[in-house]
Every structure is written in structure tokens, then in C-alpha cells.
Structure 1
Amino acid sequence: MSDRKIDKETGVETTGHSWDGIEELNNPLPRWWLWTLYACVVWGIGYSIAYPAWPMISGATKGLLEYSTRGQVASDIAAHNAQNEGLVAELLAADLTTLAPTSDLHRYANARGSAVFKAQCSQCHGAGAAGAVGYPNLLDNDWLWGGDIENIVYTVNHGIRNDTDFDSRYSEMPAYDDIFENDEIAAVVEYVISLSSTEFDADLAEAGVDLFMDNCAACHGDEGLGNRDLGAPNLADAIWLYGGSRQTVEYTVRNARYGVMPAWGQRLSDEDVRAVSIYVHALGGGE
């Protein structure tokens, strides 16, 4: 037997539910609410028919309109590429050594290269390209392999000391921890510091001269000015990739350093490689 009854005060049927003597009235839902519900149901059915909606084993229903946000993005990218097709062709054919900084092509390449740099290079070199410990500053004119546009393009294309590109830039400094005695390492370190600093132990640095000439000058030069053909850094300009303190210089002499840069030519299009190279070259340090 149903517990429902008519409430004496309102004349509305109850639901049969009662809490602490308070009974729930079975008031009907407002018609506007019901019609809204029905409209949402109809709209939902229409949406699931027109647009991708129902997951399947290897995908989802495509819908009558076959619309997707990925398809829209792909369409926008295709339209953008078509719009810049002429500039891209010019960029690929251009002689970058003679490309005028005031030309429309240079401005386009610089803008495109800036976007590529922010997406791919800023994680290591910094958003402003000022570098960090172990990651070169691209704003100065201290280049291991050369800072002219052709060398920058080559470095971006093939990278440094990676194992994925046969033409990668490659240099290797011996780890002298197993070659020199501790006092010899201390002498060489002091001589290296003397090349770019006025604060050094003259006697200890003098003891390191012959060791440097016999073991280091072949790459770094007799005056420690470096050799770009070998990727050997200039030791006399007080610009240090890993730091110029005695502790960090000693660590480098003992263990050497082997920084790696990806071969971006394997990941980026030729036009993006050229664009980001132009951007880096235009930052101020390019030669």
C-alpha cells in the first residue's frame, strides 16, 4: 500500500518520504525546466550525430560534418604555409652571407627564427640567449666554432658531439687526471688563470708554462687564444663556459668537458634551420 497522501495544507500529494515528521511534497517540475531538459536531450542527440562523439575501439565516430579541432589546426597551418610559400622559397634559395638586414626576407626570417628559438633553444640558452653554466652565451662574440652565418647554420644543422649526425662538430679534450700529477695540475691551472686574470701565483704559473706548451698549446695555441677549427676555446678572454674559478678550471683540466648539442637539421625543416640561424646571428654576437 502506498504511503502517499494528500497534504491538508497545500492539497498536494506527498512522495511518501518523511524526515522527522516532515513530509516531502510531490510538486511537479516547472514546465520551462522540463522543456529546457527536452531541448538539451534533442540538442545532444543532434550533436552526437553531427560531430565526433562516441568512442570506438580504434577511434571515434566522425559525425556527419567530420569536424575536428585537429583538422581545423591542420587547415590553419596549411593556410599559413601557403601564405608564406614565396618567402620560404626565397629563404631556401638566398645567399645568407649577403642577405640585407633591412630586407623583408630578413625580417621574416628573424621573426620565424625567434619563434623557433623560443620553442627549441631557449631551454638551454635562455629566453634572452644569454646562456647559463655549460650553455654558451649567444649574445657575445666568443664562438668555439665561428660566429659567421655559415658556421652558425652548420652548427645548428649538425649539432655538437652528438651521436646521431656523422657531420656533428666534434672536439675532445683529454682528462688530465690520469696524465698529470696533482702538483702539475695545480701549475697548469694557475698558468691558465694567469692568461685572463691579474690575481695569480706567479711562481706557480711559471711552473705550468712548459706543461701548457707541451700538452695544451697544440689546440689552444701558444698564447691560449684558442682554435676555432678544432673548437678549442680562447683561454685568455675571461669568458668561461663553466666558470673561471680555480675549482672549476681544475675540474675541467682533471675531467674535461663534453657538452652536447642536438643536430637540429634532423628535427627542423631547412627553412627553420636557416631562420633560427639568422635570428641567432642578428642577436649581436654574430660576426
Structure 2
Amino acid sequence: MALKERDEFSGQVTTGHEWNGIKELNTPVPRLVWAFLGTMALFAVVWTILMPSWPGINGYFRGLLGADQHQSVELTLAQAAADQARWTERLVNEDLATLQADADIMAVVRQASSSLFIDNCAACHGVEATGNPGYPNIAEAPMMWGGDADTIAETIRVGINATHPETRFAQMLAFGRDQMLAGAEVTLLADYVASISHGPALPTEQRLAAEELFANNCAGCHGETAKGMVETGAPDLTDEYWTYAGDHAAIRRSIYNGRQGTMPAWEGRLSTAQIRMLALYVLDLRSATP
């Protein structure tokens, strides 16, 4: 009769099975396993008695505790609807500056407005609201129509160059295409705008000639210092933010061909509460920008 192999460390008999040098010991199932299985069986019996469980012909066993998940869900939904009605009423009726200072309302705005922004605004302005080519950075750049909560809400409501009867209108003329300026003048203006934004500075003679061109053709919308005007929705030309790119070629194209961006009017598509919530959300994004 062959002797059974024993493990040299534990002294236990092996089963003869081996995987990658690891041998299986022929040991009984630990008693704790049976205790665990017994506990699980007891729990299953108690749960079956106390909670809804077995189906029947005309229904199911409802359990001694009478728990009803359908009723629980309905109560939860009713409570959520009541909570939503409270903050929706505040968003519609209260001053936006007051709401912006309310931590509870702003917590709701941050939670609810992220998906609202992604669904309606991110396609143009980007998920982080930092803009896409042809669409402005509204998280960091100066707001062309003004950056207070009421103004932002109004811009969202009526749009820009939209079909809304109260929409905001803004258009940059096509100075080259429509022959208001010669090609050399368009190029000089592009040189000038590039120089006041990111340099280098123009020679004095060119700068003086460009400043006169700018004053006669551009300052009425962009301001004498080229820092933009909220009255006309014209952007600041001296900072680092560019809707249509800020390299010399892009600036020249803008001057030559003009620009007329469009933002839809969201009144009728979004509720008043949603529009005002988005305005607060945009301001919150801007305040979080270092």
C-alpha cells in the first residue's frame, strides 16, 4: 500500500493535485463555513416572513412588516417634486443677485445646471464653457454684452442675431469685401490689432496711420481703446481671448469679410427658471476661474 504524501510544512496529507508547484491539502471544510451557511439560511427565512416575497395566484405574500416599495418610491418622487417646486418658484421670482448669494440655491444650481448646460449650450461653448472656434469663451473671457446675472439671463432669453423680436443685434462690417477699405488698409489694421493684443509693437509711422484707421472705422463699436463695448456687443481686442482665433491671418479675415455670429433665443425652449438657472451657473463657472 502506497504511503500518502504529506505536506512538509503543515504535516497534512495532500490530495495529489498540484498547480504550478502548489499542492492541495486534504483538509475538512472549516466549521465556520457551516456557521456562515446556517446564518444565511436563517436570514433568508426571517426575511421571507417579514418582507414581501413569495408570489401567489392573486398577488404575493406582503410580509409581516407591510413594506411597500411602490409606495416608498411614490413618496420619494412626491417629496422631490415638492422640493423642486420650492426652488423653481424662487428662481422665477427672486432677484438673481440674492439667489447668487444663497448657498442652498447655488448648490441646487450646480447640481441641476450641469446637465442643462451640456444639453443646450456645450455644443457651441464647450463642456467647460471655454469656447470653440467661432463661439466665445464664457467661462473666462469678458462678456461682450455684460457680465451681471440679469444681463446674462437676458442674453440667453432673447439670443444674439436670433429670430426673437427682442434679440440683441451685432454685426462686424466686411470692410474689405464691401470695398470700404483697400487691401493694404485691411492688412495694416490687422497688424495693429495683433500688435495691441500680443505684440510686437508697430513702427511709429505705421502705428499712427493704423490708429487713425482704427478710430475712423473700428472705435465706434470696439471703443477708442479697443477694449470692447457692451452697448454694441463688440469684444475686447486687447486681451488673449479670441472667438475666431487671434493670429494675423484670422484677424485679417475678420476685418475683410466681417463677422455675424448667432446665438439662439432660448425663451420658449427653456423655462424662465431654467434660463435664470443657466445665468447663475455661468456666473458660478466664472467665479471658479482663477
Q: What is the TM-score with the length of structure 1 in the denominator?
A: 0.68
**Where does structure 2 lack aligned partners over 5 or more consecutive residues?**
1-75
Structure 2 residue 165 is the aligned partner of structure 1 residue 151: no
Indicate the residue corresponding to 2:93 in structure 1.
93
Instruction: Choose from 236, 251, 254 the match for 1:252.
Output: 254
Partner of 1:193: 194
- Corresponding residue for 1:113? 113
Number of aligned residue pairs: give it: 211
Structure 2 counterparts to residues 152-191 of structure 1, below 5 A: 152-162=152-162, 164-177=163-176, 178-191=179-192
Distance 2:114 2:239 in 1: 29
Shift of residue 149, structure 1, vs aligned partner? 0.5
Matched-pair contact (CA < 8 Å) for 1:172–1:258: yes
Q: SS at 2:198's partner residue? A: coil
Structure 1 residue 125 displacement after superposition: 1.0
Q: Provide, for residues 179-228 of structure 1, a one-character-per-residue CA deviation record: whole Å limited to 9, x for no partner.
A: 11111111111111121122254243332221111111111111111111
Q: Identify the range of structure 1 (103-112 vs 128-137) with the bigger mean alpha-carbon deviation.
A: 103-112
Give the counterpart letter for 2:209 in structure 1.
A
Shift of 1:96: 0.6
The residue number in structure 2 matching 1:218 is: 220
Cα contact 2:158–2:264 (8 A) shared by 1: yes
C-alpha change, 1:233 and 1:286, in structure 2 (3 Å) is farther
Q: Give the letter for the 1:211 counterpart.
A: L
How is 1:18-37 mapped onto 2 (pairs within 5 angstroms)?
none
Q: Which 4+ residue blocks in structure 1 deviate beyond 4 angstroms?
A: 76-80
CA 1:77–1:171 in structure 2 vs 1: closer, same or farther (change >3 Å)? farther
Distance 1:104 1:262, change over 3 A: same
Post-superposition CA distance 1:17-65 (Å, at most 9, x none): xxxxxxxxxxxxxxxxxxxxxxxxxxxxxxxxxxxxxxxxxxxxxxxxx
SS at match of 1:171: coil
Residues 238 and 95 of structure 1: CA distance in aligned 2, closer, same or farther (over 3 Å): same
Give me the whole-angstrom Cα distance separating, in 2, the residues matched to 1:173 and 1:261.
Answer: 15
Query: 1:117, 1:174 → 2: CA distance?
Result: 31
RMSD: 2.2
- Decide whether aligned partners of structure 1 residues 158 and 100 sit closer, same or farther in structure 2, where only a CA change above 3 A counts: closer
Rounded Cα–Cα distance in structure 1 between residues aligned with 2:134 and 2:213: 26
Provide the residue aligned with 1:133 in structure 2. Answer: 133
Q: d(CA) in 2 for partners of 1:135 and 1:106?
A: 26
Match of 2:238 among 236, 239, 259: 236
Distance 1:116 1:77, change over 3 A: farther
Q: What letter matches 2:169 in structure 1?
A: Y
Amino acid at match of 1:183: A
Distance 1:175 1:79 in 2: 56
Deviation for aligned residue 1:262: 0.6
Distance 1:100 1:170, change over 3 A: closer
Preserved contact between residue 91 and residue 109 of structure 1 (Cα < 8 Å):
no
TM-score normalised by structure 2 residue count = 0.68
- Contact 1:188-1:205 at 8 Å conserved across structures: no
Is the Cα–Cα contact under 8 Å of residues 174 and 255 in structure 2 kept in the other structure?
A: yes
Contact 2:141 2:241 in 1 (8 A): no
Cα distance in 1, alignment partners of residues 220 and 174 from structure 2 = 15
Q: Within 2, Cα distance between the matches of 1:137 and 1:236?
A: 15
Letter of the 2:147 counterpart: G
Q: What whole-Å deviation, never above 9, does each CA across 1:205-262 have from its counterpart, x for those lacking one?
A: 3322211111111111111111111111111113211111110000000111111111
Shift of 1:121: 0.8
Percentage identity across paired residues of the two chains: 33
Residues 257 and 198 of structure 1: is their aligned pair in 2 closer, same or farther, counting only changes over 3 Å? same
Deviation at 1:263, TM superposition (A): 0.4
Q: 1:182 to 1:211 in 2, by over 3 A?
A: same
Cα 1:197–1:230 shift into 2, 3 Å: same
How big is each residue's C-alpha offset from its partner over 1:135-183, in whole Å with a ceiling of 9 and x where there is no partner? 1112214111011111110111111111x20111111221101111111
The separation in 2 between residues aligned to 1:114 and 1:108, in whole angstroms, is: 10
Give unpaired runs (5+ residues) of structure 1.
1-75
